[in-house]
């Protein structure tokens, strides 16, 4: 079961098959609606002394209660409680996981507070000084993730708040000032192309690409971005989608979108590169190679982390380094055509790993072998990320402390 939060006490309950709880004319709990409305909106009332004990007020104004082992109803019999274990209108709740990301920030805080929080973040997290630092280090491009709602800024659909477009405008201005290329990366597509926080999923569901209308909506976002920045000399590339996850994102849906998205970019600029991300969790890393080779200026994006997979859990320092030198090098060579089409891009990598007790020299060696191997990518690489509260994910920290050195 997944909760769709409306405010602090009001929720929709999404269950199997993407359907939502509701109450029928007899007061029985049912799940038939695929889109929630007032009839699928419930209020959660928590016990003051024990927040894990709750009662759930149904749309008909009455509390749910377990009627039998197989049925739940909302009727007058559940109106009074002593919060005991014997009360069928009292439920125990157990939080099995948290979601993060911009959707959750906006939905949790509400418009007024989320606007304050995010605008403070946009104003301070990355500033012009960071672009100056990038240029001084000899780096020549930035990859900037954006969400689909940016196309509706300053009045995006709820729960999102306005301001991200101004932040992107600022980044383009600073990039132009310091001769830095910008890769605009659609990191969160409508419906979410993976179930992870960074796709702005509402409840961990992945529903991008399931309809032609959804794909068309995503293409409109690309068209908005390219039409806005096509004449800005800082625009280097447009990444059509970040990390679509297989099998939820099917190959036919993805290639249809990449075809349409490429055409949208080319309507405004003949020179910007068009980046196409490989699907996550696929056996054949070459599945897009022939397809992408048919598009001039296309770039194939792969992300390499010695994390997020059980095979990395117990590797030593030397084993991690050898894996990059041997396996990653072979993987990259596999998707690199001798004719240069498509170009290859290691769009994300990091010096983060699962090694315990590693010293600075270990991190230096691990970062260096990745730079050496990923330097063979014909479009280059991008570190994730420039700033982060965790030092190893913070490229600025890694450079300033000599862990990462740039030739």
Class of domain 2-92: mainly beta
Question: What mean pLDDT do residues 155-184 have?
Answer: 98
Distance CA 31, CA 16 (A): 9
pLDDT at 205: 86
* pTM for this entry: 0.90
Considering the chain, what percentage of its residues have pLDDT values greater than 70? 99
The whole-chain average pLDDT of the chain stands at 94
Question: What mean pLDDT do residues 73-93 have?
Answer: 83
pLDDT at 311: 86
pLDDT at 171: 98
Distance CA 131, CA 179 (A): 9
Q: Where are the beta strands (DSSP E) in 24-175?
A: 29-33, 42-47, 50-57, 64-68, 71-74, 91-92, 141-147
Q: Is the pLDDT of residue 77 over 70?
A: no
Nearest to 10 by CA among 54, 49, 56, 48: 56
Question: What mean pLDDT do residues 326-349 have?
Answer: 92
Distance CA 76, CA 58 (A): 11
User: What is the maximal distance between C-alpha atoms in the chain?
Assistant: 75
243 as an active site residue: the answer is yes
Cite the residue boundaries of each domain of the chain with CATH code 2.80.10.50: 2-92
Cite the residue boundaries of each domain of the chain with CATH code 3.20.20.80: 109-400
pLDDT at 78: 60
Cβ within 8 Å of residue 370, ≥6 positions away: 304, 324, 328, 349, 351
Q: Is the pLDDT of residue 252 over 70?
A: yes
Q: Is the pLDDT of residue 108 over 70?
A: yes
Nearest to 406 by CA among 383, 388, 377: 383
Question: What mean pLDDT do residues 230-238 have?
Answer: 98
102 as an active site residue: the answer is no
Q: Which range is least confidently modeled, 64-73, 135-144, 159-168?
A: 64-73
What pLDDT digit, counting tens, does each position of 120-148 carry?
A: 999 999 999 999 999 999 999 999 999 99
User: Catalytic residue among 79, 128, 243, 313, which?
Assistant: 243
Query: Ranked by mean pLDDT, which of 77-91, 102-116, 240-254 comes out on top?
Result: 240-254
| CATH code for the structural domain at 109-400 | 3.20.20.80
């Amino acid at each position: 079961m997944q909760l769709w939060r409306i405010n602090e006490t009001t929720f929709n309950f999404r269950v199997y098959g993407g359907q939502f709880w509701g109450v029928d004319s007899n007061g029985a709990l049912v799940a038939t609606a695929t889109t929630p409305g007032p009839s699928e909106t419930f209020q959660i009332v928590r016990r003051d002394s024990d927040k894990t004990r709750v009662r759930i007020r149904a749309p008909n104004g009455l509390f749910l209660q377990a009627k039998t082992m197989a049925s739940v109803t909302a009727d007058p019999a559940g109106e009074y409680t002593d919060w005991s274990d014997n009360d069928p209108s009292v439920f125990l709740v157990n939080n099995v996981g948290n979601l993060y990301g911009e959707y959750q920030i906006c939905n949790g805080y509400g418009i007024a507070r989320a606007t304050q929080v995010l605008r403070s973040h946009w104003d301070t997290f990355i500033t012009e000084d960071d672009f100056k630092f990038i240029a001084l280090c000899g780096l020549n491009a930035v990859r900037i993730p954006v969400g689909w709602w940016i196309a509706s800024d300053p009045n995006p659909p709820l729960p999102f708040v306005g301001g991200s477009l101004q932040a992107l405008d600022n980044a383009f201005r600073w990039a132009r000032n310091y001769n830095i290329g910008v890769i605009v990366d659609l990191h969160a597509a409508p419906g979410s192309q993976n179930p992870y926080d960074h796709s702005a999923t509402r409840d961990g569901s992945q529903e991008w690409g399931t309809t032609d209308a959804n794909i068309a909506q995503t293409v409109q976002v690309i068209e908005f971005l390219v039409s806005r920045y096509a004449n800005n000399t800082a625009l280097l590339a447009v990444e059509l989608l970040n990390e679509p996850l297989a099998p939820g994102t099917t190959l036919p849906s993805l290639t249809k979108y990449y075809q349409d998205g490429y055409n949208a970019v080319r309507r405004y600029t003949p020179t910007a590169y068009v980046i196409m991300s490989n699907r996550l969790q696929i056996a054949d890393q070459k599945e897009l190679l022939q397809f992408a080779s048919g598009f001039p200026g296309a770039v194939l994006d792969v992300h390499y982390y010695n994390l997020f997979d059980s095979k990395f859990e117990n590797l030593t320092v030397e084993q991690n380094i050898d894996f990059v030198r041997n396996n990653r090098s072979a993987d990259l060579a596999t998707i690199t055509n001798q004719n240069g089409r498509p170009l290859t891009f290691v769009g994300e990598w990091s010096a983060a790993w699962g090694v315990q007790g590693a010293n600075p020299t270990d991190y230096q060696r691990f970062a260096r072998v990745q730079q050496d191997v990923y330097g063979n990518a014909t479009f280059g690489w991008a570190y994730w990320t420039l700033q982060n509260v965790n030092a190893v994910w913070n490229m600025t920290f890694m450079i300033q402390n000599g862990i990462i050195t740039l030739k």
